[in-house]
Copies of this chain bind each other. A is one copy, B any other.
């Protein structure tokens, strides 16, 4: 990887976006998390797709971490990383009041800690143990040009076993509560749904074994914020038929 030069932190792009711009990838879980959070709070942005696995100079100039997504706001602020993005959008929603946009983090401090615990769970543990491994094996390696690549069966087996633990826990939460972190929809639901929607696209979610988790996911899937995700397609890699089905 190249050393980041000429740019220190994500605030001074060489060309200012004339409107909000999200640099993302369709099957990147944190890109999807961002798109859901933006849609739930009513923030619109031009979407620009970036093949993150190529680590192109323009991505490294925008985000020296070389990771997606990057949200450039027309006021000149550039947000990278799920915490910066999620907390910013939650603050934005809070500032605008719940009558205009729904809150993404609960008002109560203890409930907020609970939502953040689950967001961390998804973006660190679920990502590391399942989503990232599955997407590398089944999507990223192929898209990087190695079309003949056969996913490593040991990696897939381990990721599938891990996914069952996560599904059990999601089902447990969904059984106890209306939404994952409590009575209201929060960033926790968006984080979990973003990861599961990527896994669902590649046919890896064993929904039949987790009907309560499926019920929770079906409610999310019916929200307007989910529509764009369900319309995503990767050329040469179609999703299973149930992917777009709201009554799957």
Tell me whether A168 and B3 are in contact (CB under 8 A): yes
Copies in the complex: 2
Instruction: Judge if A91 is at the interface, Cβ distance under 8 Å.
Output: yes
A80 (CB) vs chain B CBs: closest residue: B117
- Closest residue of chain B to A180, judged by CB? B9
Asked whether, in the complex, the Cβ of A110 is within 8 Å of the Cβ of B168, the reply is no
Kindly report which residue of chain B lies nearest to residue A95, judged by CB atoms. B109
A113 near B168: Cβ-Cβ < 8 Å: no
Question: CB of A16 within 8 A of chain B?
Answer: no
> Are A64 and B169 in contact, CB atoms less than 8 angstroms apart?
yes
Q: Mark A110-128, 1 if CB is under 8 A from B, else 0.
A: 1011101101110111001
Please state if B88 and A113 are interface contacts (CB–CB under 8 Å): yes
A10 contacts the other chain (CB 8 A): yes
Chain A stretch 51-90: residues in CB contact (< 8 A) with chain B: 64-65, 67, 77, 79-84, 87-88
Does any Cβ of B come within 8 Å of A8's Cβ? yes
Asked if A11 is at the interface of the complex by the 8 Å CB criterion, the answer is: yes
Among B8, B11, B109, the residue within 8 A (CB) of A91 is B109
Residues 1 to 22 of chain A near chain B (Cβ within 8 Å):
1, 3-4, 8-11
Residue from B1, B80, B121 in contact with A65 in the complex, judged by beta carbons closer than 8 Å: B121
**A116 in complex: contacting residue of B87, B125, B168, B176, CB < 8 Å:** B87
Contact A121 B81 (CB under 8 A): yes
Question: A65, A81, A91, A113: which has the most chain B beta carbons within 10 Å?
Answer: A113
Contact between B1 and A116 (Cβ–Cβ < 8 Å)? no
Contact of A173 with B by CB under 8 A: yes
Interface residue A165 (Cβ < 8 Å from any Cβ of B)? yes
- CB contacts (< 8 Å) of A11 on chain B: these are 110, 114
7 extra A-B contacts, CB within 8 A, seeds A9-B117, A11-B114: A9-B114, A65-B121, A77-B110, A77-B113, A84-B113, A84-B114, A87-B116
Please give me the 4 A-B residue pairs with the lowest Cβ-Cβ distance, nearest first. A81-B120, A84-B116, A83-B116, A84-B113
Residues of A at the B interface (CB closer than 8 Å) are: 1, 3-4, 8-11, 64-65, 67, 77, 79-84, 87-88, 91, 109-110, 112-114, 116-117, 119-121, 123-125, 128, 162, 165, 168-169, 172-173, 176-177
